[in-house]
Amino acid sequence: MEKTEQAVLIARSWLGTPYQHQASLKGVGADCLGLIRGIYREMYQVEPPELINYSGDWGDSNNVESMLQVAEQYLTPVELDEVGLGHVVLMRWKRGRVAKHAMLMTGPSTAIHAYNRSPITEINLNRWWLDKIVYAFTWPEEV
């Protein structure tokens, strides 16, 4: 099975996990980055050692792309026009702000994420969501 397909299966097993800022425990609590950490942990049987401390403030404008830096360290970049099944995407809420949200793509316009105190869910991405994607990554074959 391809890593991208495996990532989608794992992500779907997290559906319904309650939102909890900076958590990453299936069925107990996770945020958007916690979901990606959990997928990584389950896929590779190791916790990514580089954890970031980030605020829950969507308006952060400190110009430090912490989420991007960690993604570049553990995942493989993908061109935005190649985004597809099982890819991790990072989103920027507003121009001039840092990328602060992560999702796992489950189709051309569907994704799984934890957002705004909602449980992990699979959603349809309208143009508003799609326009906010600024980085994309796939999973390495091995770590």
12-35 burial string, b = 16+ CB within 10 Å, else e?
A: eebeebebbebbbebeebbbbbbb
Position 143 in a domain:
no
Task: Give, as one character, the DSSP assignment of residue 19.
Answer: B
How many structural domains compose the chain?
1
- Alpha-carbon distance of 32 to 101, in angstroms, equals 6
Residue 71's identity, in one-letter code, is A
Query: Which residue has better confidence, 104 or 115?
Result: 104
Q: How confident is the model over 49-101, as pLDDT tens digits?
A: 656 656 555 555 567 888 899 999 999 999 999 999 999 999 998 888 889 89
Q: pTM value?
A: 0.91
- Which residue type is seen at 122? E
Report the CATH number at residue 78: 3.90.1720.10
DSSP 52-116: ----S-TT--S---HHHHHHHHHSEEE-GGG--TT-EEEEESSTTSPEEEEEEEEETTEEEEEET
Q: Mean pLDDT in the chain?
A: 91
State pLDDT tens for residues 11-59. Answer: 999 999 999 998 999 999 999 999 999 999 999 999 876 566 565 555 5
Range of the domain at 104: 3-138
> Is 26 inside any structural domain?
yes
Q: Tell me what pLDDT residue 54 has.
A: 63
